[in-house]
Amino acid sequence: MPDDTAALIDLANATGLFPPSGLELLRQMLTDSLGRNSDTEPFWITDDDNGLVGVAYCEPERMTDRTWNLQLIAIHPNRQGQGRGAKLLGYIEQALMMRGGRMLLVETSGLPDFERTRRFYVKCGYEEEACIRDFYATGDDKVVFRKVLNAD
């Protein structure tokens, strides 16, 4: 719901992985998506355990055949390491397969602060597909992971 925007921004901020510009972009994504101001079919999932614990957001990749892009997945730091992220990601994969999704892409930073994030995707069965050097900024590569959901 649009009223959940502040809590979702707070969760993303608590991870310490989003710069202010990233949080502002997330706020705009939430406003557009939750306000139905988007021409895509976004897919939001939250993990609520007496308060917001995790969130994931993905949307179809434009001009592709059933490819989706995971734009955000975050678990509150005091709940990380409990398997919640893997469970949330697994749920997304199953839901997308039920929708006929063929592939899920995930992108993240190549900075050392994101090493744990990259290991998480590999552990969840994703393969590193590409690295675009200096994508986010000089010295900050974009690392793209992929997982085939339906091979048909």
Domains delineated in the chain:
2-148 (3.40.630.30)
Looking at residue 5, its pLDDT comes to 80
What is the C-alpha to C-alpha distance for residues 73 and 19, in angstroms, rounded to an integer?
15
Residue 86 exposed, middle or buried by CB count within 10 Å (0-12, 13-18, 19+): middle
Mean of per-residue pLDDT scores for the chain: 88
What is the C-alpha to C-alpha distance for residues 102 and 137, in angstroms, rounded to an integer?
31
What is the C-alpha to C-alpha distance for residues 27 and 72, in angstroms, rounded to an integer?
12
Q: Does the pLDDT of residue 94 top 70, yes or no? A: yes
Looking at residue 88, its pLDDT comes to 93
Q: Does the pLDDT of residue 96 top 80, yes or no? A: yes
Mean pLDDT of 113-131: 96
Mean pLDDT of 106-126: 96
Which two tokens mark 23? 């949080």
pLDDT digits (tens, 9 = 90+) for 63-80: 999 999 998 898 988 888
- What type of residue is 57? Y
Q: Does the pLDDT of residue 40 top 70, yes or no? A: no
The values of phi and psi at residue 137, to 5°, are -170, 170
- Residue 34 CB neighbour total at 10 angstroms: 17
User: pLDDT-derived band of residue 85, with 50, 70 and 90 as boundaries?
Assistant: very high
Cα Rg, the chain, nearest whole Å: 15
